[in-house]
């Protein structure tokens, strides 16, 4: 893990109730057991690549592991919170340290460990997003339609790689945009394929999938702003599911934001059905004087230093 060192803001909070920054030397003292999600080697690797955010209380052994959100440093996430009585104290210290090191938002994903909503409120996290899951039996997918779209596979060294990143930064809300490091990591995962949709040579859409033995997962799909309403999203979805079917998949899964009703309707019309058992929530805690709503509504001008664009976002653009 290689993370750049962001510009510091205000000093972090003073040590309170015995909370200290977790260092590599401290990892040997953590009281890890079978129920912890990270072993000592993983924790050392995290601290080495992303120092100064994880915290612990030596007297009790309670700790909070903080890592980058999707390879971003402006958003960080709680990877593990091991605390019986001091969760709020640990989160206060982790938030102060993360904000000091440049982050705007701290998130917790509920898919690893589910708790009551009151727990998140007690540690000053707000409900940020519902993530819902859907699946499709590929034998029920729509038949191909005549289309002027042409799809090309994009590899890390392809000249089209920049076009994929460009479409992504315009199509997705601030919290879901991929920075270049995330794309570069994702595209190198075994069994991942990214395909760019071209219309008369113009990049207009893309999709990313992970191919397994007998099923596939639709990881990303987006249409460039200004091209929505032309059937491009539907045609891109056909291309993605056809690719997975040809590879031997019998079904396809995906996840999408609960409030993204436009995309949900498209998936449902395509034949995808809700799979409630795997849904989860994401909670967030702003780290500076900006509300959660303001953070989520950031324009392309208010983004991570890794991304540069002055183009507007079209709210009607298809995005997952």
Band of pLDDT at residue 146, cut at 50, 70 and 90: confident
The pLDDT of residue 276 is: 75
Quick one: pLDDT at residue 232? 93
Q: Determine the Cα–Cα distance for residues 236 and 58; give it in Å rounded to an integer.
A: 53
- Asked whether residue 16 carries a pLDDT value surpassing 80, the answer given is no
Residue-level pLDDT at 262: 85
The CATH number given to 134-279 is: 3.40.630.30
Kindly tell me if the per-residue pLDDT of 312 is higher than 90: no
Whole-number Å distance between alpha carbons of 258 and 265: 11
pTM: 0.83
What mean pLDDT do residues 140-151 have? 86
CATH tag, 20-130+284-292: 3.40.630.30
Q: Say if residue 42's pLDDT is above 50.
A: yes
Residue 142 pLDDT > 90? no
> What does the pLDDT look like over 73-103, one tens digit per residue?
999 999 999 998 999 999 999 999 999 999 9
Provide the pLDDT for residue 285.
95
| Residues, the chain | 320
Q: Is it true that 20-130+284-292 and 134-279 share their CATH fold?
A: yes
Res 311 pLDDT > 50: no
Average pLDDT value for residue range 12-39: 85
| Best CA proximity match to 142, nearest among 6, 46, 240, 38 | 240
Question: What are the tens digits of pLDDT across the range 255-310?
Answer: 998 888 888 999 999 999 998 788 999 999 999 888 888 888 876 555 433 322 22
| DSSP 8-state assignment for residue 42 | H
Residues 89, 216: Cα–Cα separation, whole Å: 42
Per-residue confidence band for 61, with pLDDT thresholds at 50, 70 and 90: very high
d(CA 63, CA 22): 8
Given this model, what pLDDT does residue 277 score?
80
User: What pLDDT does 216 receive?
Assistant: 96
* Region for 248 from its dihedrals, namely left if φ exceeds 0, alpha if ψ lies in -120 to 50, beta otherwise: left
Calpha distance 94→66 (Å, rounded) = 7
State what percent of residues in the chain have pLDDT above 90: 62
Instruction: Answer yes or no: is pLDDT of 14 > 80.
Output: no
106 Cβ contact list (under 8 Å, min separation 6):
66, 75, 76, 77, 78, 91, 94, 95, 98, 125, 284, 285, 287
Domain boundaries defined on the chain: 20-130+284-292, 134-279
């Amino acid at each position: 893990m290689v993370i750049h060192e962001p510009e510091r803001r205000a000093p972090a909070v003073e040590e309170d109730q015995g909370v200290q920054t977790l260092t590599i030397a401290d990892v040997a003292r953590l009281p890890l057991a079978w129920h912890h999600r990270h072993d000592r080697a993983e924790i050392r690797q995290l601290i080495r690549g992303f120092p100064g955010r994880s915290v612990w209380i030596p007297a009790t052994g309670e700790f909070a592991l903080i890592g980058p959100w999707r390879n971003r440093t402006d958003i960080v996430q709680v990877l593990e919170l091991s605390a019986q009585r001091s969760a709020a104290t640990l989160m206060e210290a982790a938030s102060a340290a993360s904000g000091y090191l440049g982050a705007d938002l701290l998130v917790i994903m509920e898919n690893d460990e589910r708790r009551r909503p009151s727990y998140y409120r007690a540690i000053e996290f707000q409900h940020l997003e519902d993530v819902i899951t859907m699946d499709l039996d590929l034998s029920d997918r729509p038949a191909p339609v005549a289309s002027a779209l042409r799809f090309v596979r994009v590899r890390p060294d392809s000249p089209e790689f920049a076009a994929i990143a460009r479409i992504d930064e315009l199509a997705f809300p601030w919290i879901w945009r991929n920075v270049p490091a995330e794309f570069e990591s994702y595209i190198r995962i075994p069994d991942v394929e990214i395909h760019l949709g071209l219309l008369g040579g113009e990049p207009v859409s893309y999709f990313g999938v992970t191919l397994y033995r007998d099923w596939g997962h639709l990881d990303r799909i987006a249409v460039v702003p200004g091209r929505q309403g032309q059937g491009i999203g539907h045609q891109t979805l056909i291309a993605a599911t056809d690719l997975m079917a040809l590879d031997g998949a019998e079904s396809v899964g995906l996840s999408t934001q609960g409030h993204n009703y436009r995309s949900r309707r498209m998936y449902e019309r395509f034949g995808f059905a809700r799979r409630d058992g795997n849904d989860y929530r994401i909670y967030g805690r702003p780290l500076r004087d900006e509300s959660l709503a303001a953070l989520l509504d950031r324009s392309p001008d208010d983004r991570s230093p890794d991304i540069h664009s002055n183009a507007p976002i079209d709210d009607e653009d298809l995005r997952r």
